[in-house]
Amino acid sequence: MQNSSIRFSRTDSPQFFKTLNKRVNAYFKENQIKKTGNWRLYLKAAIMFSLFFAPYFIILTLNLPMWANLLLTLLMGVGMAGVGMNVMHDGNHGTFSSKKWVNKLMGGSIYILAGNVYNWQVQHNVLH
User: What is the number of residues in the chain?
Assistant: 128
Please give the model's pTM, rounded to 2 decimal places. 0.79
Residue 126's pLDDT is what? 76
Would you list the domain boundaries of the chain? Answer: 39-126
Which amino acid would we find at residue 82? G
Which residues are within 8 A (CB) of 35 and not within 5 positions of it... i.e. 6 or more apart?
A: 28, 95
Read off the DSSP letter of residue 64: -
Q: Which amino acid would we find at residue 1?
A: M
- pLDDT, tens digit only, all 128 positions of the chain: 566 666 666 676 788 888 888 999 999 999 998 889 899 999 999 999 999 999 999 999 999 999 999 999 999 999 999 999 999 999 999 999 999 999 999 999 999 999 999 998 888 877 76
